[in-house]
Amino acid sequence: MGSHFEPESHEEKILRSLSSGAEYAFEKAEDDGHWYALGLDLRPVAAALKQELFSDQHEDGSWGIGYGLPGEISTTVEAYLELRLLDVPSDTEVMRKARKWIVGVGSIAKVRIFTRIFLAMFGLFPWSAVPQLPPELILMPPQTLVNLTTSLFSRFLMACLQTTTSQTNCGATQGTKIIPYAPSLFELWRKEGIFSWEFGFTIADTALYYLSTAIQRSPTRKYAIKKCVEWVLERQEKAGDWAGIIPPMMNGLIILHLEGWSHDSDEFSGGLEAIDRFMWKHEKGMHLQACVSPIWDTVLMTIGLRDAGIPGSDKCLQTARIYRPKLTSGGWSFEYHNTWYPDVDDTAAVIIAFLKQDPECAGSSQVHAAVEWVLGMQNADGGWAAFDVNNNYLFMNKCPFSDLDALCDPKRLILAIHHGINYLASIQESDGSWWGRWGVNYVYGTSNVFCTLAYSDGGRVETMVNPALQWLKKVQRADGGWGECLATYKYPELADESIKKGVAFLIETQVDFGGKGFSWIEPNFTGTGFYFPLMALGRYSKAMKFDRESMLNGTKE
């Protein structure tokens, strides 16, 4: 006969529940016996985060989106919120100055969509004033105007924001403004009221808002959210990263949290660990880096060392040559963990580094695949974007991975080069310079174009180079160097003997860091202080036919 078990009595169920609850509470207690129950504990890093924000605040009370840039409303509001979350009282001098600046430039109503979403999740901004991105958009085919095949940043953030803006459990429910435990930011609104004309959106957005509300609990909405989550999870790296940059990583975690994923799950904990790797603690405090650039830094340092005369057989360069994450055939990315999104500029730089390190690499399958990939990424106008072809389709599905024999056709390469030079000619500024997309800025863009034109010939190239040379001489600083600030993106006007002065500047500004060699100080843009000066001096010494071999014999000893 089987054993007979008496069912639990009502009293026994209660006592068992109490015992389990107490065990969980004991497990979560801090070492000194107290409890901290508001999610992730910020106390270990709070002081460093506050110190960083305090030191970066401008005299007028604002914060800029980058070094040397003026105050920006969304960045300043986010910094204000962060300080309030870190328990900085609103009546301190730092907060008073920030508040005065925010209200003076138009108040909180002026912030961008991402800031609106952050604030709305804390119940500090009306959901009705957040532009609508229904999760059903993920179901749209690539042929439609709005879809997830636009560009890297757009498609990833769209998938995340479509889920976030559709939630009713996102910190505060849609329609509510203030939740009890959130720091009120009411003081950042202008006196004339919250619901001013700044909240006006297009008719389409208004229609989407009401439509989204109406289908909130429909099977289609549930299915669309499920597809968004699947899309995001599919693109998470084994190391926990998403796309190797912070915005997708942060929004990916928000999605998982909203969809009920345990913070102890591999996906969520891996995402947190990835973000933690981007934290940088230094003398000014601590901040979260937007991204890291090991591939870019490695190839540029390789190019710099080869330009300086270091032989390609050097052990350090041999190691750098084989460093490569497992990526889609042909392309390289910017970061440590980003197998989904290789980019053209990193891949092109890797090709150059390979050929600098060992010219025989030109015949390797890696270089062939990379060149084929770059050729396939060329836009219809002759130029190249970083991640996408013509910004119309998901490039991972469009790259023409042809047979290696296709690269043996020199006509194809020459045609691509001519097409690219035509594009460069079409975008040259009236003063002769070129705009640097991700470098700082016109000097960077112009110098890179020069490297391209050096391998071309013809009268058209000469007509492009001459005005650019005159521009470079014109903008050289009195100390012999060149430089500009990030503000030249918005204000372009800020932006022989000249070469000798430039070389002298690099020699005079090289400093001893206490190790074996000397380098250059560039505190705000880090890596540029290492490899670009090496490239410049190396190429100059080669052009002047200096005896670099005897000089470098003892470099690695």
Per residue in 427-438, pLDDT tens? 898 888 888 877
Q: Which is more confident, 179 or 354?
A: 354
Token pair for residue 355? Answer: 């050929």
Kindly state the average pLDDT of the residues 5-29. 77
pLDDT given at position 202: 57
Tell me the C-alpha distance between 465 and 448, whole Å: 12
Extract the tokens encoding 521.
């100080």
Tell me what the pLDDT averaged over the chain comes to.
77
Max CA pair span of the chain: 105
DSSP 342-384: -BHHHHHHHHHHHHHH-GGGGGSHHHHHHHHHHHHTB-TTS-B
Q: Is 245 helix (H, G, I), strand (E, B) or coil?
A: strand
- Give the pLDDT band (50/70/90) at residue 170: low
Higher pLDDT, 382 or 207: 382
Confidence of residue 522 (pLDDT cuts 50, 70, 90): confident
Cβ pair 274, 291 in contact under 8 A? no
Look up residue 73 and give its two tokens: 């409303």
Q: What are 317-352's pLDDT values in tens digits? A: 666 554 444 444 678 888 888 888 888 888 888 888
What is the mean predicted confidence (pLDDT) over 273-293? Answer: 89
How confident is residue 97, by pLDDT bands cut at 50, 70 and 90?
A: very high
101 compared with 247, residue with greater pLDDT = 101
Query: Of the ranges 60-69, 101-110, 490-499, which one carries the lowest mean pLDDT score?
Result: 490-499
Buried b (16+ CB within 10 A) or exposed e, 196-221: eeeeeeeeeeeebbeebeebeeeeeb
Question: Under DSSP, is residue 177 helix (H, G, I), strand (E, B) or coil?
Answer: coil
pLDDT of residue 526: 63
CATH tag, 294-495: 1.50.10.20
Percentage of the chain surpassing pLDDT 90?
A: 16
Predicted confidence at residue 209, as pLDDT, reads 65
Task: Name which residue leads in pLDDT, 118 or 194.
Answer: 118
Selection from 539, 537, 519, 538 nearest residue 529 by Cα: 519
Which among 249, 321, 329 is positioned nearest to 292, based on CA atoms? 249
> CB of 527 within 8 A of CB of 302?
no
Confidence of residue 408 (pLDDT cuts 50, 70, 90): very low
Q: Which of 181-190, 202-211, 453-462 has the highest mean pLDDT?
A: 453-462
Res. 16 pLDDT band, cuts 50 70 90: confident
Which backbone phi and psi does 256 adopt, to 5 degrees? -60, -40
Q: Which tens digits make up the pLDDT trace of 214-230?
A: 667 778 888 888 888 89
Catalytic positions: 345
**Cα–Cα distance for residue pair 26/28, rounded to 1 Å:** 5
- The share of the chain scoring above pLDDT 70, in percent, equals 72
Q: At what angle do helices 497-509 and 528-543 cross, to 10 degrees?
A: 130
CA dihedral 103, 107, 111, 115 (to 10 degrees): 80
> Which of 466, 382, 462 lies closest to 422 in space, CA to CA?
382
> d(Cα 75, Cα 68) in Å, to the nearest integer?
14
Choice between 110 and 150, residue whose per-residue pLDDT is larger: 110
Residue type, 468: A
For the chain, domain boundaries: 294-495, 496-557
Torsion sign (Cα): 303, 307, 309, 311: positive
Q: How far apart are CA 356 and CA 394, in angstroms?
A: 32
